[in-house]
């Protein structure tokens, strides 16, 4: 019995040493140490031993079990470590591989154009002002020499929210608000970019929501020639020396005299296309000398102070600058269109 137990120990330890993986090791554990294993089988013969021999044999059986268990435990550790090593070796990262390029976003072409215009005017000494998009009828119309019922209100079809409030139809109310803040004291030299809303039917050059940038200069001795010079500098810097501009007489209730400025169409080089409505020109801004009524309403002495104002459409400017043939491209968020402007970052 003693010898059989020793044999079993040697046999088991040999098998343990040869075990190739954790599963095989577990099978050895079950077959040698399980209830139906050979050690239990041998110990069934204990009944035949003397009272003296029995405890010795019991102790030996325990020693054999312990030796097999520790052998299994030791091998278990080795196999586990080998498995981790194999896994690590299989997952080695090649740090020399080139990285996968990530697609990054970029600024919207309109944001680029607006910032370019802002920078240009800031360079000429202007500061940037902002005003609310939900505006009082008073600032959108009345303070700009457009009392209730004035027929020129129809020039800008509006979205009213209540009788008193509407979505501003232009950025000119920021002029009125800024003049009021100055309490009759010049100079004022501001630009105001922002969104505006009109019940216009959308087409190649019209959108119901679009951007405007307003400009306002008030001081003593400001003349029409100052306005013309400013617009010429702006147009040349924005579109290049070779693009033509023209000023046409126009009408705005808040300026007198009033003009509109057109730029020669880049899409057809002035020959006439659907974007310029066959005229060869695209209107980009309205402007004029601030009407004395507007100055007086805001508390300025119109005998001492004069000023000019302009309001331009950055979408139209972006269309001319980049040769975009439909204003709706800026608002439909087609990435194929927008991606073309990533180089302007």
In the complex, the residues that contact ligand FA5 under the rule CB under 6 A are 156, 170, 172, 198, 200, 206-207, 210, 212, 214, 252, 255, 283-288, 309-313, 315-316, 327
Closest to ligand FA5 by CB, 32 or 197:
197
**Do 131 and 177 form a contact (C-beta atoms < 8 A)?**
yes
Closest to ligand FA5 by CB, 186 or 253:
253
d(CA 322, CA 340): 10
d(CA 338, CA 345): 12
Q: Provide the pairing of β-strand 209-219 with 188-197.
A: antiparallel
Closest to ligand FA5 by CB, 9 or 207:
207
- In the complex, the smallest distance separating the C-beta of residue 262 from ligand FA5, rounded to whole angstroms, is 9
Residue nearest to ligand FA5 (CB): 313
- In the complex, the smallest distance separating the C-beta of residue 149 from ligand FA5, rounded to whole angstroms, is 19
Q: Provide the pairing of β-strand 127-128 with 188-197.
A: parallel
d(CA 293, CA 284): 26
- In the complex, the smallest distance separating the C-beta of residue 311 from ligand FA5, rounded to whole angstroms, is 3
Closest to ligand FA5 by CB, 64 or 285:
285
Residue 256 annotated as lining a ligand binding site: yes
d(CA 273, CA 279): 7
d(CA 26, CA 71): 12
- In the complex, the smallest distance separating the C-beta of residue 215 from ligand FA5, rounded to whole angstroms, is 7
Closest to ligand FA5 by CB, 112 or 315:
315
- In the complex, the smallest distance separating the C-beta of residue 343 from ligand FA5, rounded to whole angstroms, is 25
Nearest-5° angle of CA 120, CA 122, CA 124?
75
- For 191, the token pair is 């630009």
Q: Which residues are annotated as a binding site?
A: 256
Q: Which residues are annotated as a binding site for Mg(2+)?
A: 256
């Amino acid at each position: 019995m003693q010898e059989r137990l020793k044999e079993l120990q040697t046999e088991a330890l040999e098998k343990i040493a040869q075990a190739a993986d954790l599963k095989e090791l577990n099978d050895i554990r079950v077959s040698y140490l399980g209830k139906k294993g050979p050690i239990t089988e041998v110990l069934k013969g204990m009944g035949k031993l003397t009272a003296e021999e029995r405890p010795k044999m019991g102790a030996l059986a325990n020693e054999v079990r312990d030796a097999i268990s520790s052998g299994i435990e030791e091998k278990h550790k080795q196999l586990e470590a080998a498995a981790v090593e194999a896994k690590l070796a299989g997952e080695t990262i090649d740090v020399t591989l080139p990285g996968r390029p990530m697609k990054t976003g970029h600024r919207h072409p309109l944001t680029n154009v607006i910032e370019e215009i802002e920078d240009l005017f800031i360079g000429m000494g202007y500061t940037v002002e902002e005003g609310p998009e939900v505006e009082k009828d008073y600032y959108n119309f009345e303070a700009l020499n457009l009392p209730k019922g004035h027929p020129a209100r129809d020039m800008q079809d509006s979205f009213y929210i209540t009788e008193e409030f509407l979505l501003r139809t232009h950025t000119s109310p920021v002029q009125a608000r800024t003049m009021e803040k100055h309490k009759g004291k010049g100079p004022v030299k501001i630009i105001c970019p922002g969104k505006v809303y009109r019940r216009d039917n959308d087409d190649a050059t019209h959108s119901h929501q679009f951007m405007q940038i307003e400009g306002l200069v008030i001081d003593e001795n400001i003349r029409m020639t100052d306005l013309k010079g400013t617009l010429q500098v702006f147009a040349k810097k924005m579109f290049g020396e070779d693009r033509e501009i023209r000023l046409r007489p126009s009408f705005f209730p808040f300026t007198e005299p009033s003009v509109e400025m057109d730029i020669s169409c880049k899409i057809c080089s002035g020959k006439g296309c659907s974007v310029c409505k066959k005229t060869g020109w695209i209107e980009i801004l309205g402007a004029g000398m601030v009407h004395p009524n507007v100055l007086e309403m805001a508390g300025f002495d119109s005998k001492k102070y004069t000023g000019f104002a302009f309001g331009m459409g950055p979408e139209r400017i972006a269309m001319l600058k980049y040769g975009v043939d439909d204003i709706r491209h800026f608002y439909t968020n087609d990435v194929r269109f927008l991606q073309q402007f990533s180089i302007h970052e």
